[in-house]
Amino acid sequence: MTKVKILISEDTKEEVELFTSELAACIKKSKRMLVITGAGISCSSGIPDYRSSQGLYSSVIKKTDNNNNSSRIMKGQDLFDATVFRDKGQTECFYKFMAELKSRISNALPTATHVFIQGLQARGQLMRYYTQNIDCLEDPLDLSVVRLHGSMDKVKCTLCTASYAFTIEYQDQFRNGQPPVCPQCIVYDNERSRLGKRPLAMGTLRPNIVLYNEFHPEAESIGKLQLKDLNRKPDFMIVMGTSLRIASLKKFIKEAAKLIHSVQGKVVFINMTPLTKEWEHVFDYELLGHSDDWVQMTQQKLNETVCAK
Separation of alpha carbons 87 and 93, rounded Å: 10
Q: Which of 2-11, 46-55, 143-152 has the highest mean pLDDT?
A: 143-152
Query: Which residue of the set 114, 149, 216, 281 is catalytic?
Result: 149
- Average pLDDT of the residues in 156-171: 96
Sign of CA dihedral 46, 52, 54, 56: positive
| Residue from 175, 244, 274 nearest 36 by CA | 244
Q: Are strands 205-209 and 150-157 parallel, antiparallel or unpaired?
A: antiparallel
pLDDT band at 309 (very low <50, low <70, confident <90, very high): very low
* pLDDT tops 60 at residue 211: yes
pLDDT band at 89 (very low <50, low <70, confident <90, very high): confident
Other C-beta atoms lying within 10 Å of the C-beta of residue 44:
16
Q: 114 burial class (0-12, 13-18, 19+ CB within 10 angstroms)?
A: buried
pLDDT in tens, 262-278: 999 999 999 999 999 99
* pLDDT tops 60 at residue 254: yes
How far is the CA of 227 from the CAs of 77, 170, 235, in angstroms?
Answer: 29, 37, 15
Q: 284 burial class (0-12, 13-18, 19+ CB within 10 angstroms)?
A: buried
Active-site residue, 149 included:
yes
pLDDT in tens, 17-70: 888 999 999 999 999 999 999 999 999 998 866 555 555 666 666 655 555 555
How far is the CA of 6 from the CAs of 194, 285, 294, 298, in angstroms?
Answer: 68, 8, 11, 14
**In sequence order, which ranges of the chain are alpha helices (DSSP H)?**
13-29, 56-63, 69-72, 88-106, 112-122, 168-175, 183-194, 219-231, 247-262, 291-308
How far is the CA of 309 from the CAs of 20, 299, 304, in angstroms?
Answer: 19, 16, 9
By the 8 A CB rule, do 5 and 284 touch?
A: no
Q: 70 burial class (0-12, 13-18, 19+ CB within 10 angstroms)?
A: middle
Rounded to 10 deg, the angle between the 13-29 and 291-308 helix axes is 70
pLDDT, averaged across the chain: 89
* pLDDT tops 90 at residue 189: yes
- Average pLDDT of the residues in 225-254: 96
